[in-house]
Amino acid sequence: MALKKSTDASSLAEVLDRVLEKGIVIDAWARVSLVGIELLSIEARVVIASVETWLTYAEAVGLLVCEPICR
- Inform me whether the pLDDT recorded for 6 exceeds 70: no
Confidence of residue 18 (pLDDT cuts 50, 70, 90): confident
What pLDDT does 67 receive? 58
Q: How many helices (H) and strands (E) does the chain have?
A: 2, 2
Q: How far apart are CA 1 and CA 55, in angstroms?
A: 23
pLDDT tens digits, one per residue of 37-64: 889 998 888 877 777 777 777 777 777 6
Cα distances (angstroms) measured from residue 59 to each of 10, 20, 21, 22, 39: 31, 17, 16, 15, 35
Decide if 31 contacts 40 (C-beta within 8 A): yes
Cα distances (angstroms) measured from residue 19 to each of 5, 53, 58: 17, 10, 16
